[in-house]
Chains A and B, each alone.
Chain A
Amino acid sequence: MATDVVRRAPPAYVYAGLGALLVAVSLLSLGSGAYPLSVEHIVRLLSGQAGADGAAHMVLFEVRLPRLLLGFLTGAVLAVSGVVLQGLFRNPLADPVLIGVSGGAAMAAVAVIVLGGSWLAGWSLLAGRWALPLAAFLGAASTTFLAWRIASRGGQVSVATLLLAGIAINAIAGALTGLMVFHADDSELRSLTFWNMGSLGQASWDDLKIAGPWMVLALVLAPFLARPLDAFAMGESVAGHLGFSVDWVKRAAVVLAALGAGAAVAVTGLIGFVGLVVPHLLRQMIGAGHRLLLPASALGGGALLVGADCLARVIVAPAELPIGLMMALLGGPFFLVLLIRMRGY
C-alpha cells in the first residue's frame, strides 16, 4: 500500500452495503429453486397474508427458511471465528483449522459414518439422528482442548505452541480419518466425501435447534473481545500493560471460536475460506479495529455463504454443488487476486 493517508469507506456505508447485500441474497435464496417464488409472494407468506397451507408455504418455511438461516449463521460464525483467531494469533491467515476444530470434527464425523454400524453402534443408537453432528462437535471441542492443554504450562498459554500443537493434532486427525476412509465401503465413501465438501442441503429446523444456540452465543459474545483483541495486535505484553488479562482473553477467544466453528462444522460439514476472505476484505475497507470489524464480518460472512449457496443451487440445477466446494472455487481465485493486488503492502 502506498504511504499516503489510508482511504477507508465510512463505516456506515460499509454496513449499509453489507445489509443491502444480505437482504438481496436472502430474497434470492428464498425465491430461487425448483419451485420459484416471487419477492412479493415471499413477503406475503412471511407476513402471514397468504394462506398457511399449500406447497409455497411448505417450501418457504420447511425448506428455504431454515436453509437461509443456517447458511447465514454458519457464514457469520465462521467469519467471526476467523477474526477472533486472527486477532489471537496476530496473523491474518489464522483459521479454525489451526486450533484443530476442523480436523477433530472431520475425524469424528467420518468415524460415525464409517464405524456407525459396527464399533460405534452404541453411539449411533444412543444419539440417533444427532449422532453425526454431536460427534463432530465433540471432536472439534476435544482436539481444541488437547491443543490448548499441550500449549499451556504453569497457567500460561503459549500461542506459538498452540499453533504448532494444532497443526500436529490436525495431521494426526487427518491420518486417522484416512485410516477410516481406507476401511470404508463405497456408499460410506460417498457420504463422507460429501460431508468433507460441506453442504446446506439437509438444513432443517432441527439442525438450527441443535447448532443455532451455540452459533448465536458465539456471535453475541464476540464483540466483548473487541477491545482486548485490538490490544493484542501490539502483542501479549502490551495488552497486559494496557490492563487486559491476557490469559483470560486467550481462553475466551479459543472457547468462542471452538464453540461457534465447532457447531457450524457439526451441521454443515467443512466449509473453508469464509473465515479467511471476509475478514481480510473488510479490514481493507473499514480498518482493523475489532469493534467495527466483528459485526461487519458477521454480516459479510453470512451474506457470502447465503450467496454462494444460491449459486451452488442454480449452477448445476436440478442437482446442487456442495457449498464447501463452491466456496473454495469462488474464494480461492478471489483470494489470489486480492493477494496479487496487495503485493506492495
Chain B
Amino acid sequence: MAFDSGAVLDVSDVSFRVGRQAVLTQVSLRVERGEFVALLGPNGAGKSSLLRVVSGECRPESGQVRIAGRALASWRRRDLARHRAVMPQKVDVSFPFTAREVVALGCPADRVTGRQALIDSLLSRLGVADLADRLIGSLSGGEQQRVQLARVLAQVCDSDGPRLLLLDECTSALDPAQQQLVFSLLRELASVEGYAIVAVVHDLNLAAAHADRLVMMCKGRVVADGPPLMVLAPDLLRQVYGLNSRVERLPEGYPVVVPLVGGHYSQEMAEPVSSQRCPRIPQTALSR
C-alpha cells in the first residue's frame, strides 16, 4: 500500500454537534510521523469528541479527517485497524478473559507466528508481564489500563507504514511512577519508531515533560497549539481552566506548572474532575 509522505493525521475544519449542542467548532490539527501531541483542556472541552471523530466512531458535520493522506471514509476497516489504534477512557471486559487473551484480541487475525512472544514482550514493556495469566476482572484499575494499552499497541506495532495512536486518558488510573513509565514509552515509540500519537492528558506537567506539542482545547475549539513552553502560559491557563498558576522553565528544558493556592482558587488542585467549562470563579466563593 502506498502512503502519503505528509501528515499521519490531518484534521481540517471539523465541526461536530450532538443534538443542537456544538461540541467541536472548526477544529484543525496536524500530526506528523514521530510526533507526540498532548490534547489538553478542561472537562467538556471536546477532547474525547475529537478523538471519537478521528477514530471514525462519529461522523463530523463538516470538515475532513485524513489519515496518511486518505480520507477516513475511504479506508477499509481492516486496513485502518492495522495503522490506527484507539484506547478509550474505560474498557469493561464482560467475560472472564485473561490479560494475555485481551492483548491477543488486539493482534491482527493474520498474525500467527510469534504471537505469544509479541504479547509477552508488550506486557513486560508495560510492567505487567507477571499478570499475563490472571483474569482481567481481577486486576486493579491501573493494571487493567496497562493491559489495555498493551492490547492497543499489539494492534499496530508490527505494521509497516504509518502508525497512529489515539489515547484517551490512558494513564488516569496509574500511580505517578507508572505514569512516567507509560509516557516515557510513548515518547520512545514516537521518537524511535515513528508513531504519531495523540493523547488526551489532564496532568499538564506530565504532558509538558513528554509531548512534542500541546494542543489546548476549550469549548470545542483549539485555543492554542504549539510547544509546551509556548502553550503553558499563566494567562491561557487562567482563561481556559480558571487556574491561577506560575509556570517555570526547568533546567531540563520543559516547563512546569505550579498551581498557586494561597488566597487563590485553584481548580486543578481542588477539583480535578469538575464538570464546569472554562469557569470564572467569583472571588467571594473562595474566601475559605
In the complex, which residues of chain B have a beta carbon less than 8 angstroms from the beta carbon of A244? 77
Closest to A240 in B: B57
With contacts A233-B95, A283-B96 taken as known, whether A242 is within 8 angstroms of B105 at the C-beta atoms is yes
Query: Which of B62-70, B86-94, B238-246 touches A?
Result: B86-94
Per-residue B-contact encoding for A277-288, CB less than 8 Å = 1, 0 else: 000000110011
Judging by beta carbons under 8 Å apart, are B91 and A6 in contact? no
| Contact of B236 with A by CB under 8 A | no
Per-residue A-contact encoding for B77-105, CB less than 8 Å = 1, 0 else: 11111101110100111111110011001
Q: How many A-B residue pairs have CB under 8 A?
A: 78
Closest to B102 in A: A234
With contacts A1-B138, A242-B155 taken as known, whether A287 is within 8 angstroms of B98 at the C-beta atoms is yes
| Contact of B279 with A by CB under 8 A | no
Closest to A242 in B: B81
Closest to B108 in A: A243
| Contact of A320 with B by CB under 8 A | no
In the complex, which residues of chain B have a beta carbon less than 8 angstroms from the beta carbon of A235? 88, 91-92
Judging by beta carbons under 8 Å apart, are A234 and B105 in contact? yes
In the complex, which residues of chain B have a beta carbon less than 8 angstroms from the beta carbon of A4? 134
| Contact of B7 with A by CB under 8 A | no
Closest to B109 in A: A227
Judging by beta carbons under 8 Å apart, are B92 and A5 in contact? no
| Contact of B133 with A by CB under 8 A | yes
| Contact of A152 with B by CB under 8 A | no
| Contact of A41 with B by CB under 8 A | no
Size class of the contact patch on chain B = 20 to 34
CB distance from A237 to the nearest CB of B (A): 6
Option from A90, A243, A288 in Cβ contact (under 8 Å) with B81: A243
| Contact of A289 with B by CB under 8 A | yes
| Contact of B49 with A by CB under 8 A | no
A264 to B134, CA, bound (A): 38
| Contact of A231 with B by CB under 8 A | yes
Per-residue B-contact encoding for A223-234, CB less than 8 Å = 1, 0 else: 000010011011
Judging by beta carbons under 8 Å apart, are A3 and B94 in contact? no
Judging by beta carbons under 8 Å apart, are B81 and A241 in contact? yes
In the complex, which residues of chain B have a beta carbon less than 8 angstroms from the beta carbon of A245? 77
Residue picked from A87, A90, A288, most chain B C-beta under 10 Å: A288
A1 to B77, CA, bound (A): 37
Closest to A90 in B: B94
Judging by beta carbons under 8 Å apart, are B93 and A233 in contact? yes
Judging by beta carbons under 8 Å apart, are B77 and A288 in contact? no
In the complex, which residues of chain B have a beta carbon less than 8 angstroms from the beta carbon of A242? 81, 105-106, 155
Judging by beta carbons under 8 Å apart, are B92 and A234 in contact? yes
CB distance from A280 to the nearest CB of B (A): 10
Residues of B155-201 contacting chain A, CB below 8 A = 155
Judging by beta carbons under 8 Å apart, are A91 and B94 in contact? yes
Q: Other CB < 8 Å A-B pairs besides A243-B79, A245-B77, 4 of them?
A: A6-B135, A233-B94, A234-B105, A240-B56
A-B contact pairs, 11 of them (CB 8 A): A1-B96, A4-B134, A90-B95, A230-B97, A234-B93, A240-B57, A242-B81, A243-B81, A245-B77, A283-B95, A287-B97
Chain B residues packing against A (C-beta within 8 Å): 55-57, 77-82, 84-86, 88, 91-98, 101-102, 105-106, 109, 133-135, 138, 155
Complex A-B, nearest 5 residue pairs according to Cβ-Cβ distance, in ascending order: A243-B81, A288-B95, A90-B94, A241-B86, A243-B78
